[in-house]
Amino acid sequence: MILGFDMTSETGHKLVESLDLGVDPRAIKKEVRRLVTPKSVSEYRAKISSKANLPEGVILDPAAGSGGQLLAYSKYLDRPCAAVELSPQRADFCAYQFSKASNNSSVITICGDGTDAQGVMSIVESKTGQTSICMLHVDPARPMDTQKHAVSEMQPSLSVLLESWSEYIHVGPDGPAMTLDLSPRLARQQMLEIEDIVLAVFPRTSMTWEWLSRGGGRVDRLCLQTGPLADIGSASRSVRLWNDGSFSTLHDDGDILDASDMGWSDYKLCLGDLVALIDPVIPKSGLRGVFEECAGYARGELVWIGKSERRPLALLHEEIHSGSEVRPFVVTQGVVVGRMASKLDLMSIDSLASLAMENNIATIQVRCSLEPRLHKRITDRLRQILGQIHGSPGFLIEDGGSEDLVLCKELEV
Ligand SMILES: C[S@@+](CC[C@H](N)C(=O)[O-])C[C@H]1O[C@@H](n2cnc3c(N)ncnc32)[C@H](O)[C@@H]1O
């Protein structure tokens, strides 16, 4: 049973304390799953925030959802934390989660409107004795298709939220410490709008956009880090987060990012070409030029093939070695050994398999678009045919300058 205690502010904010949820938590978990920040991402954020020079005060999540992010902050940072959630059911779940965690004593849950800083602070102050916010984390609810929606449709509204909290959040020389967790599908124009919203309330704030990948061939998260959480002098940072919680980063050094006209080549791949499949966070974050420099090339020297946004390719002069700063952002690299003029389907598997056998390739990772309903059948069939072969791993990609598919033999790692 949830006890909504008598601590209710004049504005109707209510402190939620949980002894027992009363309903099966799995049912609520299912309901909030779509919104929840993956634990590995929450923990990563908490780890990097713990390295920042944060002032004293409370860490606030004014749109906390299930509260997972705040739980991670409370684990890694020695600060009291406050979660605010509008939906009573989610606020109950949030409080329940905190009560189950071993380090719960420093986290409070308030059910109410996170944009009402005064109402929230009256409870925060009486519970924690703190009068200021040292860091704000917000992951606003957003319409499903954010490409076509306005920034103003995020809930809570960023401009209203920041305006309301400006009185309480600590603002240092680089601005306030904030993590704005946004949709990776935001358009450039919307990113600029968000920067304007921040600067209108906190002028001269340092800001770094962070593009995070967990290696699944897409950008998993996009967030704007500000103040002490930003990389001072860097507008953009790419992060590759690994399953074991470790991570690799690449950021710009204050130089102009990729010019928007850096473009993509329609180069037709040739036998013997050395290609690398690059994590999409690199082009998305505008760090192709930085990638080139860190890989030992001049800016603009590499040929980039970007037929599919999810699978950008770079044509290399030589292999990228494991010690290189950019190696974490190379999904795979290999030499072109053959091409297939037909698309990949149940009819063409056999010719692909013979091409693989001719080149001593024993496994093929499909790195080109393929109808999802066919994916399992095709990969199972390939595994069946090539199962007895001893050889190297290979991968199949789309060509830049034709409709062909190109088979590559992976380089030894
Ligand atoms: C994207 S979810 C946050 C998910 C969270 N990061 C997690 O891991 O569970 C956004 C949440 O903001 C809440 N919300 C929207 N407007 C709000 C407001 N004005 N005040 C407080 N919460 C609000 C929604 O109910 C929703 O649960």
Please state the φ and ψ torsions of residue 400, each to the nearest 5 degrees: -80, -40
Locate all alpha helices (DSSP H) within 185-327, ordered by sequence. Answer: 188-201, 281-284, 288-294
Q: What is the DSSP letter of 285?
A: T
Q: Is the pLDDT of residue 5 over 60?
A: no
Grade residue 7 by pLDDT with cuts at 50, 70 and 90.
low
Grade residue 254 by pLDDT with cuts at 50, 70 and 90.
confident
For range 72-98, the mean pLDDT: 93
More confident residue, 49 or 390: 49
Grade residue 255 by pLDDT with cuts at 50, 70 and 90.
confident
pLDDT at 253: 83
For range 68-82, the mean pLDDT: 95
**Going by DSSP bridges, is the β-strand pair 14-18/58-61 parallel, antiparallel, or unpaired?**
unpaired
Concatenated DSSP letters for 150-209? -GGGSBS-HHHHHHHHTTTB-EETTEE-EEEEE-TT--HHHHHHHHHHHHHHSTT--EEE
pLDDT at 205: 97
* Cβ contacts of 169 within 8 Å, gap of 6 or more: 132, 133, 134, 136, 176, 178
Fold of 274-410: VC0802-like (3.30.2130)
Integer angstrom CA distances of residue 315 from 73, 161, 252, 289, 293: 41, 45, 22, 14, 14
Identical fold, 2-251 and 274-410: no
Q: Give 65 Cα–ligand 1 centroid separation in angstroms.
A: 5
pLDDT at 102: 67
| Residue 239 token pair | 């992060």
pLDDT at 4: 41
Torsion over CA: 280, 286, 211, 44 (sign): positive
Integer angstrom CA distances of residue 63 from 32, 46, 115, 117, 333: 13, 17, 9, 12, 41
For range 316-344, the mean pLDDT: 95
For range 353-380, the mean pLDDT: 92
Cα–Cα distance for residue pair 187/315, rounded to 1 Å: 27
Cα–Cα distance for residue pair 127/107, rounded to 1 Å: 10
Q: Give 48 Cα–ligand 1 centroid separation in angstroms.
A: 23
Q: How many CB atoms lie within 10 A of CB 216?
A: 11
Residues with CB under 6 A from ligand 1: 32, 35-37, 62-63, 65-66, 68-69, 84-87, 90, 113-115, 139-141, 155-156
More confident residue, 67 or 24: 67
Amino acid identity for residue 401 in this structure: G
pLDDT at 354: 94
pLDDT at 145: 60
Task: Provide the percentage of residues in the chain whose pLDDT is more than 90.
Answer: 75
Residue 249, H or E segment = strand 247-251
Q: Is the pLDDT of residue 261 over 70?
A: no
Whether 110 contacts 128, CB under 8 Å: no
Name the residue ranges covered by the structural domains of the chain.
2-251, 274-410
Cα–Cα distance for residue pair 146/309, rounded to 1 Å: 17
Q: Which of 36, 35, 44 is nearest to 241 (CA)?
A: 44
Whether 213 contacts 278, CB under 8 Å: no
Q: What is the DSSP letter of 107?
A: E
Grade residue 1 by pLDDT with cuts at 50, 70 and 90.
very low
Grade residue 124 by pLDDT with cuts at 50, 70 and 90.
very high
309-336 per-residue burial string, b: 16 or more CB within 10 A, e: under 16: eebbbbbbeebbeeeeebbbbbbbbbbb
Whether 266 contacts 400, CB under 8 Å: yes
Torsion over CA: 180, 21, 12, 82 (sign): negative
Q: Give 336 Cα–ligand 1 centroid separation in angstroms.
A: 48
Instruction: State the average pLDDT for the chain.
Output: 91
Q: Is the pLDDT of residue 215 over 70?
A: yes
Task: Provide the percentage of residues in the chain whose pLDDT is more than 70.
Answer: 93
For range 48-76, the mean pLDDT: 96
Q: Is the pLDDT of residue 280 over 90?
A: yes
Q: What is the DSSP letter of 297?
A: -
Ligand 1 pocket test: pick from 111, 113, 155, 163 the residue with the most ligand atoms within 8 Å of its Cβ. Answer: 155
**Atom number of ligand 1 nearest to Cα 156:** 16
**Atom number of ligand 1 nearest to Cα 115:** 19
| Residue 349 token pair | 């598997």
Cα–Cα distance for residue pair 99/273, rounded to 1 Å: 57
Q: Give 241 Cα–ligand 1 centroid separation in angstroms.
A: 24
Q: Give 76 Cα–ligand 1 centroid separation in angstroms.
A: 22
| Residue 367 token pair | 């790195």
Please list the residues that pair with 15 across neighbouring strands: 110
Identify the three-state secondary structure at position 53. coil
Whether 42 contacts 68, CB under 8 Å: yes
Q: Give 141 Cα–ligand 1 centroid separation in angstroms.
A: 6
Amino acid identity for residue 219 in this structure: V
Ligand 1 pocket test: pick from 139, 157, 161 the residue with the most ligand atoms within 8 Å of its Cβ. Answer: 139
Q: How many CB atoms lie within 10 A of CB 374?
A: 14
pLDDT at 246: 97
Q: Is the pLDDT of residue 14 over 90?
A: no
Fold of 2-251: Rossmann fold (3.40.50)
For range 332-349, the mean pLDDT: 93
Grade residue 12 by pLDDT with cuts at 50, 70 and 90.
confident
